[in-house]
């Protein structure tokens, strides 16, 4: 009798453990080198043209702008490197940080899915700076056609590292099963620091360990029911 009770308790514990962890899931970061760890440290003087700061990122400037873009190895929010913009002009046109064209400035997303883009940023104490996060979207029929902007959010920054997160829904275009979105960060006058940029699909993707735990819970439940009947 005691053995039966102990067995029943053990099986119930397996069931509860398996079912309780079976819903955990992983988020896959779509952004390439959003922590800038693979970028080359150095300063890039504004000259009004496009250039690649690394294999993963590019920057553009308004004509007549003054200042520098920097990959620095001090003051990062996490890791060893981050991106730093020093803008000294009053030109109203934006300075942009975005994925490099030679890599693929647009990422593939699933129509109708909810996505999150998040990052860390701050400005110097003497500056009142900000970042405008934009997400142009479109489809590819042999050529990339940008037809929408699914996110356009201005963010005022503080002098300490702050975490910022925004959600958008990938649009649906008739006849196309894949969308393309191109995250763009427009930087204000002053000094702006950015680090740890991520973009991920909010749809749950079960982790292998969670699937195994859920299956073990279900097997335990079947075993428990069979034991009760016998």
Please write the tens of the pLDDT for every residue from 15-70: 445 445 445 567 889 888 899 898 888 777 665 444 555 567 877 776 677 788 88
Q: Over 90: is that where the pLDDT of 187 sits?
A: no
In whole angstroms, what is the distance from residue 123 CA to residue 87 CA? 11
Q: Give the mean model confidence (pLDDT) for residues 97-118.
A: 82
**Residue 172 near residue 119, CB atoms below 8 Å:** no
pLDDT of amino acid 213 = 47
DSSP assignment of 109-178, as one string? Answer: E-TT-EEEEEEEEEE-TT---EEEEEEEEEEESSSEEEEEEEEEEEEE--SS-EEEEEEEE----TT-S-
User: Residue 211: which pLDDT band, with cuts at 50, 70 and 90?
Assistant: very low
Handedness of CA 137, 44, 194, 131 (dihedral sign): negative
pLDDT higher than threshold 80 for residue 106: yes
Asked whether the beta carbons of 105 and 57 are under 8 A apart, the reply is no
Arithmetic mean of pLDDT, 162-183: 90
Express each pLDDT in 80-98 by its tens digit.
999 998 888 777 666 788 8
Q: What is the average pLDDT score of the chain? A: 76
**pLDDT at position 160, please?**
93
- Residue entry with tokens 């002098």: 159
> Under a CB-based contact definition with an 8 Å cutoff, are residues 24 and 210 in contact?
yes
Question: Of residues 100 and 59, which shows the higher confidence score?
Answer: 59
């Amino acid at each position: 009798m005691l053995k039966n009770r102990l067995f029943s308790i053990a099986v119930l514990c397996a069931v509860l453990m398996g079912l309780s962890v079976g819903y955990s899931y992983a988020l896959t970061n779509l952004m390439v080198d959003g922590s800038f760890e693979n970028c080359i440290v150095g300063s890039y003087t504004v000259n009004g043209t496009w250039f690649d700061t690394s294999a993963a990122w590019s920057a553009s400037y308004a004509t007549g702008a003054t200042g520098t873009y920097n990959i620095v190895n001090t003051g990062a929010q996490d890791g060893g490197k981050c991106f730093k913009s020093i803008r000294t002009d009053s030109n109203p046109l934006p300075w942009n940080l975005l994925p490099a064209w030679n890599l693929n400035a647009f990422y593939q997303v699933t129509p109708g899915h909810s996505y999150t883009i998040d990052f860390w940023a701050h400005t110097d104490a003497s500056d009142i700076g900000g970042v405008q996060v934009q997400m142009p979207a479109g489809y590819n029929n042999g050529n990339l056609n940008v037809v929408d902007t699914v996110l356009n959010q201005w963010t005022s920054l503080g002098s300490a590292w702050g975490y910022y997160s925004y959600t958008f829904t990938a649009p649906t275009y008739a006849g196309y099963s894949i969308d393309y979105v191109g995250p763009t960060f427009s930087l204000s006058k002053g000094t702006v620091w950015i680090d740890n940029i991520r973009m991920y699909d909010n749809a749950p993707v079960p982790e292998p360990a969670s699937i195994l735990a859920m299956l073990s819970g279900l097997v335990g439940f079947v075993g428990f029911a069979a034991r009760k009947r016998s």
